[in-house]
């Protein structure tokens, strides 16, 4: 019964990823706290516990040094909740494979429906890519890759693997697909009983289904029919599995499977052009900038602050406000000590660990996190589930006075949950409360959203009020201010704000564009 309850909770929280990521984390923390207060009997081993507390302490120090902005509180909440989940999973002893399978199937099902236009899920498709309930297609891909890997390694559920693999291919995430392939390569190297032919044969079926869905939805222009291939994969999963196993016994299937896999990059590049290559170069620049910032700031620049500080710190013109490497992001947030604690935690886990399917799945997730933006809630949930068997200690009873310390993370989770829900509701519905009632003090993201809305509505008084509430205005804030001043006819002040925008962000085009368009506005034109 406990396994079923945990599975239902994890699936529900996974499906909430699309709109309220901060609120989802806070909700997870509340649930973990309730469980720990009621059921906690084990604690992490002492070295693991000390490293976890050290990691959290470094984040606390970094957030305190930079004035406790809301973005830092949100990241601090996630780090705290991650450790609470870790502790909770040690006591739950749940089946991670079962939970991952159920959540993966739900994510794939919603992803297919949205991809085919059958479900108006917010942000479900970006540039003709399956995104499902996650903020980024790459995050959905990493999640689906982990679910597909664990499913194909489970004899009881292996027939469902093509359903998940097809969804993975439709995300068109080159990095996640490469990580998935690397996982199977590691599986072949470490297990003599694993044969390549069935894997290539299964990949061929998944590639055929993905190509059919894409062709029906975007090439033929009949999106409703795009739901047929995934449906056939589900209905005839056992027959497809038997056919795949039968074909795998033929020698020519191996060569056909290799050929099919070679066609995969062709399909991706046909759909996305050379964008993946350009993106790879841009991500290397993100990482390089992040490493430089980490070297210059031993305590980091503050958790969650890169999105707003990147304008002044980037070394070339790019608009992405997230470093595509979780490891580098940790260093940018909280410095070298946080990275060292994270790597030591991984080292403790790797020590003496057998190369089973669970271990390889965790390595796949970590590889994805090293070179991309990983999925948030489920990455921690499933990694901690996989780690739990090796990191538990002797039973421990928590004395009543010690339980009072749980009030601190509870307050943090409550603050983040409330702020996230209010802000998401205001921004999604474009309600006036973003201008009038939303508590935006020390919340850079909310203040910038408020400035943007005030600019669109012509409420220059509210824009000035929001700008004044920023402790250290960034280039984006000065860009909004310059546009507002130009529309009010204060052209000299607008040009001064645009120059300040350029000073703060010399590698971004927005300041230079403003200097070009302000004279046009002066002569009766409009800012595009």
Single out the residue of 47, 51, 55, 34 nearest to residue 303, CA to CA: 55
Structural Rg of the chain based on CA atoms:
25
Q: How far is CA 430 from CA 26, 254, 425, 426, 441, in A?
A: 24, 55, 8, 6, 19
Q: Quickly tell me which residue has 């004279």 as its tokens.
A: 519
Is the distance from CB of 44 to CB of 418 less than 8 angstroms?
Answer: no
Structure confidence at residue 232 (pLDDT):
92
State the Cα–Cα distance between residues 307 and 424, nearest whole angstrom. 18
**pTM for the whole structure:** 0.85
Highest mean pLDDT among 14-18, 23-27, 153-157, 160-164: 160-164
User: What band does 481 get if pLDDT is binned at 50, 70 and 90?
Assistant: very high
Structure confidence at residue 477 (pLDDT):
93
State the Cα–Cα distance between residues 492 and 142, nearest whole angstrom. 49
State the Cα–Cα distance between residues 482 and 493, nearest whole angstrom. 7
State the Cα–Cα distance between residues 414 and 482, nearest whole angstrom. 37
User: What band does 149 get if pLDDT is binned at 50, 70 and 90?
Assistant: very high
User: What band does 325 get if pLDDT is binned at 50, 70 and 90?
Assistant: confident
- Burial label, 235 (beta-carbon count in 10 A; 0-12, 13-18, 19+): exposed
Point out which residues pair with 392 in neighbouring strands: 44
State the Cα–Cα distance between residues 326 and 430, nearest whole angstrom. 31
Single out the residue of 319, 320, 338 nearest to residue 328, CA to CA: 338
Structure confidence at residue 524 (pLDDT):
65
Higher pLDDT, 113 or 269: 113
* Lookup: tokens for 329: 């992001």
State the Cα–Cα distance between residues 466 and 31, nearest whole angstrom. 35
Structure confidence at residue 374 (pLDDT):
60
pLDDT greater than 70 at residue 184: yes
Backbone angles phi, psi at 419, to 5 degrees: -65, -40
Question: For 91-132, how does the pLDDT look when each residue is reduced to its tens digit (9 = 90+)?
Answer: 776 777 888 899 899 999 999 998 888 887 654 455 688 888
């Amino acid at each position: 019964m406990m396994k079923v309850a945990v599975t239902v909770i994890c699936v529900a929280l996974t499906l909430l990823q699309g709109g309220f990521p901060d609120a989802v984390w806070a909700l997870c923390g509340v649930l973990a706290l309730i469980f720990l207060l009621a059921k906690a009997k084990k604690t992490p081993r002492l070295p693991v516990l000390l490293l976890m507390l050290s990691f959290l302490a470094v984040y606390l120090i970094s957030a305190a040094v930079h004035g406790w902005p809301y973005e830092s509180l949100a990241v601090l909440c996630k780090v705290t909740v991650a450790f609470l989940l870790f502790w909770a999973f040690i006591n739950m002893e749940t089946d991670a494979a079962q939970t991952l399978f159920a959540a993966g199937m739900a994510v794939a099902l919603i992803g297919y429906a949205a991809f085919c236009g059958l479900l108006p899920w917010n942000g479900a498709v970006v540039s003709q890519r399956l995104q499902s309930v996650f903020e980024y297609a790459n995050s959905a891909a990493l999640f689906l890759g982990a679910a597909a890997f664990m499913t194909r390694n489970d004899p009881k559920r292996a027939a469902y693997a093509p359903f998940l693999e097809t969804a993975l291919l439709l995300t068109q995430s080159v990095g996640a697909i490469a990580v998935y392939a690397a996982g199977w390569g590691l599986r072949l190297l470490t297990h003599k009983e694993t044969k390549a032919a069935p894997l290539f044969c299964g990949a061929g079926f998944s590639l055929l289904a993905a190509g059919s869905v894409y062709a029906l939805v975007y090439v033929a222009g009949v999106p409703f029919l795009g739901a047929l291939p995934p449906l056939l994969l589900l209905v005839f999963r056992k027959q497809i599995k038997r056919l795949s196993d039968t074909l795998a016994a033929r020698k020519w299937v191996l060569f056909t499977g290799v050929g099919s896999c070679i066609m995969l990059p062709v399909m991706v590049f046909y759909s996305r052009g050379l964008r993946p290559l350009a993106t790879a170069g841009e991500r290397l620049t993100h990482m390089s900038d992040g490493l430089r910032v980490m070297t210059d700031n031993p305590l980091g620049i503050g958790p969650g602050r890169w999105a707003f500080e990147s304008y002044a710190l980037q070394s070339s013109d790019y608009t992405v406000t997230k470093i595509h490497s979780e490891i580098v992001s940790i260093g940018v947030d909280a410095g070298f000590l946080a990275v060292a604690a994270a790597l030591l935690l991984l080292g403790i886990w790797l020590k003496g660990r057998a190369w089973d399917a669970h271990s390889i799945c965790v390595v796949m997730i970590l590889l994805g996190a090293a070179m991309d933006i990983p999925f948030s809630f489920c990455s921690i949930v499933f990694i901690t589930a996989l780690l739990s068997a090796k990191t538990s200690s002797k039973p421990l009873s928590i004395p009543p006075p010690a339980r009072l310390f749980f009030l601190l993370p509870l307050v943090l989770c409550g603050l983040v949950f409330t702020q996230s829900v209010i802000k998401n509701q205001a921004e999604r519905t474009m309600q006036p409360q973003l201008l009038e009632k939303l508590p935006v003090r020390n919340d850079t993201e909310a203040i910038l959203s408020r400035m943007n809305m005030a600019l669109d509505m012509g409420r220059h008084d509210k824009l000035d009020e929001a700008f004044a509430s920023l402790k250290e205005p960034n280039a984006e804030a000065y860009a909004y201010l310059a546009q507002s001043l130009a529309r009010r006819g204060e052209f000299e002040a607008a040009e001064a704000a645009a120059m300040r925008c350029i000073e703060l962000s010399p590698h971004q085009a927005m300041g230079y564009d403003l200097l070009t368009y302000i004279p046009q506005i002066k002569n009766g034109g409009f800012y595009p």
